[in-house]
Amino acid sequence: MKIRKGDTVIVIAGNDRGQTGTVQEVMHAKGRVVVEGVNLRWRHRKPTQQNPQGERIQTESAINASNVMFYDEKAKKGVRKRVAKES
């Protein structure tokens, strides 16, 4: 997988198509990535002694790496990158 943590990507398929963000986590074994501000889901937390009310928080969920593409800020669109071959 060419995508690494910290890369800026654009989503090319799915409900969040067209959104951009930076990669926060890469799961190589599953072929998935977590992108900042994309694929938000509500998580419910049980009440605890520190937080007796409980809470709902929004977190990013992983999406398939094939649904993202590198984003070029200058061209304002997704681009393909080649990996340099080592000799």
Share of the chain above pLDDT 90, in %: 77
Q: Determine the structural domain holding residue 68 and report its residue range.
A: 8-79
Q: Specify whether the CB–CB gap between 32 and 67 falls below 8 A.
A: no
What is the tally of structural domains in the chain? 1
Q: Are 9 and 20 in contact (CB under 8 A)?
A: yes
Q: Per residue in 66-80, pLDDT tens?
A: 999 999 888 888 888
SS3 87: coil
Q: Does residue 2 belong to any structural domain of this protein?
A: no
Give me the pLDDT at residue 87, please. Answer: 62
What residue type is 65 in one-letter code?
A
Least confident piece of the model among 26-30, 41-45, 79-83: 79-83
Is residue 23 very low, low, confident or very high in pLDDT (cuts 50, 70, 90)?
Answer: very high
In a domain, 59, yes or no: yes
The whole-number average pLDDT for the span 51-70 is 94
| Residue in this structure with the two tokens 């937080």, named with its chain if needed | 51
Whichever domain contains 60, its CATH number is 2.30.30.30
